[in-house]
Structure 1
Amino acid sequence: MKNLLLALGFLSLTSCIQESKSYTPEEQPVNLSLEESIRRGEYLVTIMDCHACHSPKIMTPQGPVPDPNRLLSGFDASQPLEELSKEEKITSKKWVLFHPQMTSAIGPWGTTFAANISSDDTGIGTWSYEQFKKALTEGRYKGLVNTRPLLPPMPWQTYQDLEDKDVRAIYDYLKTTTPIENIVPAPQLAMQPQ
């Protein structure tokens, strides 16, 4: 009986190991067609919740949802940011405050605005893949080497280990989005970036 239990345990463990092997990244298809890459990019943009910060919102009975007419266009530059009260300025040194559209944040670093990542030239329309990858995985403004770092709440540190095929898929998808002209304001820094 003891040998039977050991044998069953061993078979169960072997089965688990073999199952986990079937999901290793090395065995996944690497070369996607452009159509497959765009579909995967749309999926990744959705599950990574890029719309939470990069799409202005409209209010619905279920709460705020991305405005379908301004998807991924970033902070709406036509809507000026309201001046903070003295109490809010003090609070923003200890807390992070989000604009009701969730496309701007104020915190100890200053005020930041979500970028336009639509396919318009005021977004990422003219960016190369290398620029996009540098921005997303290295946190460089416009993906350029000698530019300022991307500021909070952009979680680029979370994305630094993305596989190239996923970065490419996100880029391919964003290049197919509706171009929305919107020049996002520069951040208002409370301290100098390092």
Structure 2
Amino acid sequence: MKTLIFKSVLLGSISFLQFSCTQSTSHDVPNVKPYQTNELLGQEQVLRGEYLVTIMGCNDCHSPKVYGPNGPVPDAQRLLSGHPANYALAKVDTTLLKSWVMFNSHSTAVIGPWGVSFAANITSDPTGIGTWTEEQFFKAMREGKAKGLANNRNLLPPMPWQTYSRLKDDDLRAILAYLKSTKPVKNVVPPPMPLQDISS
């Protein structure tokens, strides 16, 4: 008899606990903060953007380099800051450009038949893309417009915007979220140069 009573009490207690745990009460709602979910999603978006920026090779051109035993590597202090404003380019024998396209030692400046192009600052600094809107970023990546402005010049080689234009909207948003989260590096990248300005 005692065993039967014990089992009944035990089953009743379990049923009560199950019922209590599945019911939501009004005082539970304030403890759930909607922004926590948004922050988590934002963090996931930034991490996705960092992954995409890494595998797409953005540091190859947009980060100045330091040289070590294995050759050039991105400078951790100036990641994604573009061609250094104070880095002068040597004159070049432009007759070689009939057969070559040449990079400078940082891989942030490229000389070709179109002239000299410089990798942009894409950090979160205002001299980079810190003040850009999503619309600007999409226009730059999808239509190849410098600074994402409709009436601006086209982006120059080697920026492969034609390939990147095929990225999904969510991927572009993730890349922008990551770039906006980067360490701001103040660096005003020079405008493109015609060949005659670099010719030896």
TM-score, normalised to structure 2's length?
0.76
Task: Encode CA deviations 1:136-165: one digit per residue, 9 max, x unaligned.
Answer: 121001000011100000000011111000
Q: Structure 1: 5+ residue runs without aligned partners?
A: 1-31
Q: CA deviation at 1:94?
A: 3.0
Does the residue aligned with 1:65 lie in a helix, a strand or coil? strand
Which of 29, 52, 60 is the matching residue for 2:60? 52
**Correspondences of 1:151-190 after superposition (within 5 Å):** 151-190=156-195
Q: CA RMSD in A?
A: 1.4
Whichever of the two has the greater Rg, that structure is 2
| 1:103 correspondence with 2:108 | yes
Task: Encode CA deviations 1:103-149: one digit per residue, 9 max, x unaligned.
Answer: 00000100000000000000001100110111112100100001110
In the alignment of these two chains, the number of paired residues is 157
In 2: Cα distance, 1:152 partner to 1:166 partner: 22
Moved over 2 A (4+): none
Task: Encode CA deviations 1:20-72: one digit per residue, 9 max, x unaligned.
Answer: xxxxxxxxxxxx81111000000000000100000000001111100000000
Higher helix share: 2
Q: CA deviation at 1:93?
A: 3.6
Which of 126, 143, 168 is the matching residue for 2:131? 126
Does the residue aligned with 2:51 lie in a helix, a strand or coil? helix
| 1:41 correspondence with 2:46 | no
TM-score, normalised to structure 1's length?
0.78
Q: CA deviation at 1:190?
A: 4.7
In 1: Cα distance, 2:156 partner to 2:73 partner: 24
Which of 59, 69, 77 is the matching residue for 1:61? 69
Q: CA deviation at 1:89?
A: 0.8
In 2: Cα distance, 1:152 partner to 1:46 partner: 20
Does the residue aligned with 2:83 lie in a helix, a strand or coil? coil
AA aligned opposite 1:65: V
- % identical aligned pairs: 57
